[in-house]
Chain A
Amino acid sequence: MPTDAPLQPADQATKVPVTVLTGFLGSGKTTLLNRILTEEHGKRIAVIENEFGEIGIDDALVVDTEEEIFEMNNGCICCTVRGDLIRVLGTLMRRRDRFDHILIETTGLADPAPVAQTFFVDDEIAGQLRLDAILTLVDARHLGRHLDDAKPEGVENEAVEQIAFADRIVLNKTDLVDEAELDEVIGRIRAINRVAEILPAQYAKIDLGKVLDVGAFDLERALDVDPSFLTDGEHQHDLTVSSVGIELTGDLSIPKLNDWLGELLSTKGADIFRSKGVLAVAGQQNRYVFQGVHMLFEGIDGQPWGNTARVSRLVFIGRNLDRAALETGLRRCLASAR
C-alpha cells in the first residue's frame, strides 16, 4: 500500500472551473448550451464538444474532438482517461486569457468516468483546472425508456451511468409529462442517485447559478447533501445502480480506515462510481474530507469540528452496493471497535 500523503488541492481559486455536460441526444443539451453561451452571466465560456450534428455557436470558443479512450494501465478502469480531452485542454490552456470557464459536452453515449478521471490523473491538468461539476440532462418523457433499455451482459447502460455520476440533473421537458409521470421519473432518478440536485426545466430554462461554478468536487463541500438521505430507511435492494449513505457517531481509527477503504476501493472500486465522505478521525481536530471516482481517491483535512458533533458521513453511488456490508465495514473502523 502506498504511504505517500493524499493529493493536496492547489489554490482552487486560481484554477479554471470545468463543467462536464452529459445527456442523451434529444435531452436538450444544445438548448442548454445555447442558453449558457448567450445569457448574461458575466463568464466567458470555452466549449469542447464531440457530438456530431450539433449546431455551431457564434462568438464562442468551440473545439471539436473525437472520443479517444486511453487506458494507461492494462485496462484498469481507474487508469482510463480521455486522451483527446487532455490534448484539447492543453491547447485551450495556451489561450487561457480568453475564457473563465470550460464546458465539456460529451456525446450521449460517453462514459463519464474517463472524463472525470482525466482531472485527477494528469498532474498538469490538475494543476490548472478543477472539475466543477458533472451536469446531466435528461428528458422527462423518454428517460424511463433509456433506463429500461436492455443491454448485453457486460455493456453499461449509459443513461444509468450518466445519472449515477451526476452532481446536478436537469430534468428537462417536464411540459411533456403529467404530474404522476413526473413523480415517477423523479423517483427513478432518486433510486440511482440520491445526492444530485434535480432541477426540473422546460426548454432547459434553469438558473445557471445552480449549474455553473457550484464546486461539486470541492473537498470542502464534499458532503453538502440532504441529511435525510443518510438516515432514510427505504432502500431499494433490487436496483443494480444505487446510492448508499451512511452516518456514524464516534471517532474512527486511521489504520482501520486505511485497511477498510484500501480493500474496498481495490476490490470494489470498479463498481463504485462516486464516493464522498466527511470523517471524524481519532485524535484529529479537523474533519477529514475525501472523494473518489472509482478507485481514484483524494482527501484533505477540512474545517475543525469545533463544537459540532463528530459524526462521520459517507456516500457511495455505484453498482451492486451492499449497504449492510458497507455499514458494518465502517463501524469496524471505529477506534473503540475490537
Chain B
Amino acid sequence: MSVISPGGARPSAVDPDIAEKLRGWIRSALDLDEEVTVLVAQLACAEPGCPPVETVLAALPAAGRRSVTLPGPAARLTESDVRRAFHLCGETHAH
C-alpha cells in the first residue's frame, strides 16, 4: 500500500476498543448515563504549537458541553488522565 500522509489536521482512527474504554471513563468521570453522547477523536494538527497528535475528549449532553484536549495518542491515556483533565480543566460550553 502506498502511504501518503500529508500534514494538516486530519483524524487518525482510534482503536475501537480503546475508544470504547475512553468513552466509559468520560462517562464515569462526569457521572453521565449511556444516553449522553461522548466523542473521542485523535487529531494530527500541523498548526504551529500543536503536538503531532492530540486527543479530544468531549461529552455532548443537550446542554453544557464539556471537552478537553490532551497531548498524545488516545492509546496512551489512562483513566486518571481523563478524570484529572475533566476535573481540572474541562471546558464547559452552554448552548
Contacts and interface: CB of A to CB of B under 8 A. Distances in A.
Contacts of B80: none
Interface in A277-324: 279, 281, 283-284, 286, 288, 290, 292, 295-299, 301
A279 B6 CA distance: 14
B52 to A, nearest CB: 6
A285 to B, nearest CB: 10
Nearest to B3: A5
Nearest to A272: B8
Nearest to B34: A94
Interface in A114-133: 120-124, 126-127
Interface string B46-62: 11001011101010101
A33 interface: no
A93 to B, nearest CB: 10
A121 B13 CA distance: 9
Given A72-B67, A257-B4, A265-B6, A4 B41 contact: no
A81 to B, nearest CB: 8
A73 B50 contact: yes
A66 B95 CA distance: 9
A263 interface: yes
A228 interface: no
B43 A72 contact: yes
A68 interface: yes
Nearest to B41: A121
Interface in B1-51: 1-14, 16, 19, 37, 39-47, 50
A2 B60 contact: no
Contacts, number: 146
Contact of B10 (A8, A288, A296): A296
- Contact size range, A: 35 or more
Interface string A1-16: 1111111100000000
Contacts of B60: 70, 83, 86-87
B83 interface: no
B43 A73 contact: yes
A121 B2 contact: no
A4 B69 contact: no
A266 B47 CA distance: 7
A170 interface: no
A296 B11 contact: yes
B45 A122 contact: no
A28 interface: no
Most buried by A among B9, B13, B52, B56: B9
A124 B2 CA distance: 26
Given A68-B95, A79-B43, A123-B13, A2 B5 contact: yes
A73 B55 CA distance: 10
Interface string A160-188: 00000000000000000000000000000
Contact of A121 (B11, B16, B54, B67): B11
Interface in A246-267: 254, 257-258, 261-266
B5 A1 contact: yes
A269 B11 contact: no
Contact of B46 (A7, A123, A262, A298): A262
Pairs of residues from A and B, 9 with the lowest C-beta to C-beta distance, nearest first: A295-B8, A265-B8, A262-B7, A261-B6, A266-B46, A2-B44, A262-B6, A78-B9, A90-B37
30 contacts: A1-B5, A1-B46, A2-B5, A2-B7, A3-B3, A4-B12, A6-B4, A72-B43, A72-B56, A73-B9, A73-B54, A78-B10, A79-B45, A83-B95, A86-B60, A87-B62, A121-B43, A122-B39, A123-B16, A123-B19, A124-B39, A262-B5, A265-B6, A266-B7, A283-B2, A295-B9, A295-B46, A296-B9, A296-B11, A298-B10
Given A78-B8, A295-B46, 7 more contacts: A2-B12, A73-B50, A83-B65, A86-B39, A292-B10, A295-B8, A297-B6
